[in-house]
Amino acid sequence: MDLPWDYSTWKPTAGVFEWLGDWKKPSKKGFAKLKLQLAIPARNVRDHPHEPRFRFERGETLYRLGYPELAAGDFEKTLMLIEYGLDFSSELGENVRVLGIQESVKKHELSPEVTQQNVSDLLNNLRKKTYMEYINALYKIRAVPDILTLCKEALKIYPRDPEIRDLLEEGEEAYSEHAAEARPSLAAQGMSLDQYAWGMVATKSYPWTPPALRTRDVETIASANQILDSCSDCLEIRHSSLGSRNGTTQSFGMFAKRDIKKNEKILDSPSATGTSNKPATGQYCYNCAFTLKKNQVFTFTCCPTMKFCSEVCLEIANGNYHKALCGKDFSELYQAASSQTFSESSKARDNLVFLRLIAISLQAGTPPLMTPPIAWLGANYEAQSPIPWSRGANIIGPLRTLQILGVSIFAEDYDIWVLQTMWYVALHTSQENADVKSEKESCPKQL
Ligand SMILES: [Zn+2]
Ligand SMILES: [Zn+2]
């Protein structure tokens, strides 16, 4: 974020759609000021990843720049860091306190008890401010159920706080008003309010994304074609003018290399990105998510719950992600994905796609956005329509997944804009596996 980027590449996600509450787009002058302002906490967050005040400041600036979904991520991490900081027995808490906050109270040479109390007071004040800003940001994404959850969480800590009580009341009003508006169209589609996608965010490329990740060079396309060649004898990726506004061939498309007969299978390959929410039932291949045949199941001795339809799938898993997952317990993610509650299970199923992508990147040892297949797709994810957003699917789920994988969630490589970009890529390119779509309880997904 503190790398060079300019006004022409700035495409805020706020203000694109008429959600709830106003976000005022800064003028060109205001933008220049905010961009400079962002560079300071952005640098500080990189140098001091455990200092909650820097995260909070960066979140505030990102919000003003029109990125409420990124501000939300910073506010979530600020709350987590404060939690660690208030736990005087936690090791990470020491990192939180050792920086600016501890220093500022040390100056006065106070007793350890008073110092501890002052540190707690400072962190508690910051926590309340963070909740308030977090709630405000969520209005710009229309994530009303998350607003209510956050208000209730904050009220447990500050039970009689009038400002938070007011926020809860406003949130409840917004919920009933919007629910009343949404109900008729939901009913027409045979859906309940539980299935309604509240949170929505516009899909925009972040301006500080390194240029190499925003363009696809000859080599990228050649390597994608090489892989395509191994699973299809009739398809190739070429430049295309389709979808381009000025008729140029900046886009890419998939073309037939020869005439294709009716009912001919044009693509025959399991990719590394099929996921099913019930791997332990032994019904679906862990790699391609196709239904397993009873007498034809392949497994690893170290991870017997990962079952595969073929040696090819087993090899793909081993070559791409098994090592990153081996020996780790993801049962909580799978349990959530099998939940009877629609909103919980759909968030968790998306999280399983994220788990696969991040495991591929960890095994490859490359930053997530540089790792195929994310890198191949990353240059092309902007879209006209918004995509669903929720605190569970976009922030808490990915952070929890990273923690289980043993990755530091405060590391720069896993900054929230990186996770959000992965999310855009996954949602714009993922599709349910047609052959098993009818098995509703399974919902396998494949990129
Ligand atoms: Zn398979
Ligand atoms: Zn294993």
Which stretch, 147-161, 207-221, 318-332, 338-352, has highest mean pLDDT? 147-161
Give the Å distance between the CA of 370 and the centre of ligand 2: 25
Q: pLDDT confidence of 322, banded at 50, 70, 90?
A: very high
- Measured in degrees and rounded to the nearest 5, phi and psi for residue 196 equal -75, 135
Q: pLDDT confidence of 385, banded at 50, 70, 90?
A: confident
pLDDT tens readout for residues 176-221:
998 898 888 888 888 888 778 788 898 888 988 877 776 666 777 7
Give me the percent of the chain exceeding a pLDDT of 70. Answer: 82
Give the Å distance between the CA of 326 and the centre of ligand 2: 4
What is the torsion angle, in degrees rounded to the nearest 10, for the CA atoms of residue 160, residue 162, residue 168 and residue 174? Answer: 160
More confident call, 286 vs 342: 286
Give the Å distance between the CA of 445 and the centre of ligand 1: 12
pLDDT tens readout for residues 258-269:
898 887 777 766
Give the Å distance between the CA of 365 and the centre of ligand 2: 18
Give the Å distance between the CA of 315 and the centre of ligand 2: 12
Q: Which ligand is nearest to the CA of 269?
A: 1
Q: Is the dihedral of CA 86, 88, 91, 94 positive or negative?
A: positive
Give the Å distance between the CA of 308 and the centre of ligand 1: 5
- Does position 349 have pLDDT exceeding 50, yes or no? yes
Give the Å distance between the CA of 412 and the centre of ligand 2: 28
More confident call, 447 vs 35: 35
Q: Which tokens sit at 205?
A: 């490329």
- Does position 100 have pLDDT exceeding 70, yes or no? no
Q: Which ligand is nearest to the CA of 311?
A: 1
Q: Mean per-residue pLDDT for 68-77?
A: 97
Give the Å distance between the CA of 253 and the centre of ligand 1: 26
DSSP, residue by residue, 158-220: STT-HHHHHHHHHHHHHHHHHHHHHHHHHHHTT--GGG----EE-----TTS-HHHHS--HHH
Query: What is the Rg, in whole angstroms, of the alpha carbon atoms belonging to the chain?
Result: 24
Give the Å distance between the CA of 302 and the centre of ligand 2: 4
Q: Mean per-residue pLDDT for 101-108?
A: 60
Q: Mean per-residue pLDDT for 383-410?
A: 89
Give the Å distance between the CA of 56 and the centre of ligand 1: 44
Give the Å distance between the CA of 143 and the centre of ligand 1: 36
Q: pLDDT confidence of 443, banded at 50, 70, 90?
A: very low
More confident call, 445 vs 195: 195
Q: Mean per-residue pLDDT for 272-276?
A: 62
Report the amino acid identity of residue 92: L
Neighbours of ion ligand 1 (CB under 5 A): 270, 285, 287-288, 309, 313
Give the Å distance between the CA of 286 and the centre of ligand 1: 7
Q: pLDDT confidence of 247, banded at 50, 70, 90?
A: low
Average pLDDT taken over every residue of the chain:
82
Give the Å distance between the CA of 321 and the centre of ligand 1: 14
Q: Which ligand is nearest to the CA of 308?
A: 1
Domain borders along the chain are 7-143, 211-256, 279-446
Q: Mean per-residue pLDDT for 310-321?
A: 91
Q: Which ligand is nearest to the CA of 288?
A: 1
Give the Å distance between the CA of 309 and the centre of ligand 1: 4
Give the Å distance between the CA of 313 and the centre of ligand 1: 5
pLDDT computed for residue 282 by the predictor: 65
- Does position 124 have pLDDT exceeding 60, yes or no? yes
pLDDT computed for residue 281 by the predictor: 56
Give the Å distance between the CA of 358 and the centre of ligand 2: 16
- Burial pattern 56-68, b for ≥16 Cβ within 10 A else e, equals bbbbbbbbbbbbb
Q: pLDDT confidence of 257, banded at 50, 70, 90?
A: confident
Q: Mean per-residue pLDDT for 38-66?
A: 92
Q: Which range among 116-130, 242-256, 379-393, 424-438 shows the weakest confidence by mean pLDDT? A: 424-438
Alpha helix (H) residue ranges in 291-396 = 311-320, 322-325, 331-337, 342-364, 374-378
Give the Å distance between the CA of 286 and the centre of ligand 2: 12
Q: Which tokens sit at 263?
A: 């009912």
DSSP state at residue 445: E
- Does position 238 have pLDDT exceeding 60, yes or no? yes
Give the Å distance between the CA of 186 and the centre of ligand 2: 43
Give the Å distance between the CA of 325 and the centre of ligand 2: 7
Q: Which ligand is nearest to the CA of 323?
A: 2
Contact 382, 375 (CB under 8 A): no
- Does position 246 have pLDDT exceeding 60, yes or no? no
pLDDT computed for residue 378 by the predictor: 58
- Does position 57 have pLDDT exceeding 70, yes or no? yes
pLDDT computed for residue 161 by the predictor: 95
pLDDT computed for residue 33 by the predictor: 92
pLDDT computed for residue 348 by the predictor: 76
pLDDT computed for residue 243 by the predictor: 58
Dist CA 98 CA 85 (whole Å): 9
- Does position 129 have pLDDT exceeding 90, yes or no? yes
Helix (H) or strand (E) holding 235: strand 235-240
Give the Å distance between the CA of 392 and the centre of ligand 2: 28
Q: Mean per-residue pLDDT for 267-284?
A: 63
pLDDT computed for residue 431 by the predictor: 41
Which stretch, 133-147, 266-280, 345-359, 361-375, has highest mean pLDDT? 133-147
Q: Which ligand is nearest to the CA of 292?
A: 1
